[in-house]
Chains A and B, each alone.
Chain A
């Protein structure tokens, strides 16, 4: 596809994916800890489903959405033309190789560069989908590295509730269930804050948004 056609197609597909995600799940955004204002942020959420970043993206007001880029694994998304189209053209994603197979690639530098161009980011610090009964897996260190290098950008926790029930691992058909996204109080890194302290605070801030479990 040539440039303009590809751009238009990406716009239509993006609109359709967001509309479908909202129609299926009701995607209700609860801005409890901060307001939906156009401020540069790192949105970080719990990761239970492939649809997570789509739902955060779709639940942002359009003005914020267009300045927000999901961080995704190139080892998954850069493996076919269709996936490349979806992640790069539709969502303008920032792709990183989670397998570290690309020598010399610095994932934190790639994310920091995206922040320097003014974008907000969506990322999932658990690194992989959580299929356990625990509400959150331990965080990988990427969020701390990024926050240390760009301490002015606050990290906003986003708890996604129910999406794992819509599309559990291995399911072929999504079940329409109401999902809520709770945006918590932004977490800011203190000067020289050690990794474990910061990641612990960030994880607690996200876990605090999780409704009580049965």
Chain B
């Protein structure tokens, strides 16, 4: 008897398999190496794996609700990411109305436009209209102190946390022959997140040479090369859920992994400038929502537009 799984079920089965292995490995390390006692690295590893279980379950529930599910999920992700970002930047009481507008107008509007698939507006609403209207709104606050800096930070916040992340559910609005939006989301998330995880793993195993110690103390050349190479191989191996040939899948995976890595450097630079290690404490072992999403923020828009130029 053969059981045939849908591609989506096969992807989730694969992810569950990896998590089972990771959980068992964490358990074994805890008892063999740490004798069941405290061990910062192993405890952090176990916390990370447990958080992954929770994140995969949340993703699975959203996918079960289809396109509406992923729009709502990533709107919530944007909300949490925007809150983390704005909490860390300098604003003044006169920015209150602008900040309220980003949370309660810009964010819901962007995801509503994605939900109805209005590409002509969701692709320009934040870079054009929010870009022009938010500083106008801020000027009504009649407070010039550090005005340029404040206006720039609010725009950068919505670009990263709302615009960038909204490109993930926007993948469901592309009409691609042989492509399914939810599968493309699953592929993107698996490739980019596995790149993060594999960079961490390779870095822990072989990491010697720091890539950019001024920006991020933990990223190493060995982790970068090993992580990106193995995640790119994984992306190529999963070509069968995408409209790509294996070589195209490898090229796309390399692009999104490179964007993800470089995006991680940018976000690390911002965190360092703000004097913090993590964006928040929402996800045990990982930090905040933005610590988990930083690679996706930079990878998703590029992935979307490459798909749109050449496949849609």
Contact = CB atoms under 8 A, between A and B. Distances in A.
Interface of A: 26, 28, 162, 164-165, 168-169, 171, 173, 175-178, 214
Contact of B90 (A169, A175, A178, A214): A214
Contact of B103 (A165, A171, A176): A176
A176 B289 CA distance: 15
Nearest to A213: B90
B96 A178 contact: no
B96 A26 contact: no
Contacts of B91: 165
Contacts of B104: 173
B67 interface: no
Given A26-B280, A173-B100, A173-B104, A178 B93 contact: no
5 contacts: A175-B86, A175-B100, A176-B83, A177-B86, A178-B84
Contacts, number: 35
B100 A178 contact: no
A173 B97 CA distance: 8
Given A28-B281, A171-B96, A177 B90 contact: no
A173 B280 CA distance: 23
Contacts of A173: 100, 104
Contacts of B103: 175-176
Contacts of B281: 26, 28
A28 B87 CA distance: 13
Nearest to A168: B93
Contacts of A28: 281
Contacts of A177: 83, 86-87, 99
A162 B90 CA distance: 11
Which of B87, B91, B103 has the largest count of A CB atoms less than 10 A from its CB?
Answer: B87
A164 to B, nearest CB: 8
A173 B96 CA distance: 9
Contacts of A162: 87
Interface string B14-39: 00000000000000000000000000
Contact of A168 (B84, B96, B280): B96
A169 B100 contact: no
Contacts of A214: 90
Interface in B261-299: 280-282
A164 B92 CA distance: 10
A177 B157 CA distance: 13
B152 to A, nearest CB: 15
B87 A169 contact: no
A164 B104 CA distance: 19
Given A168-B96, A173-B100, A178 B79 contact: no
Nearest to A28: B281
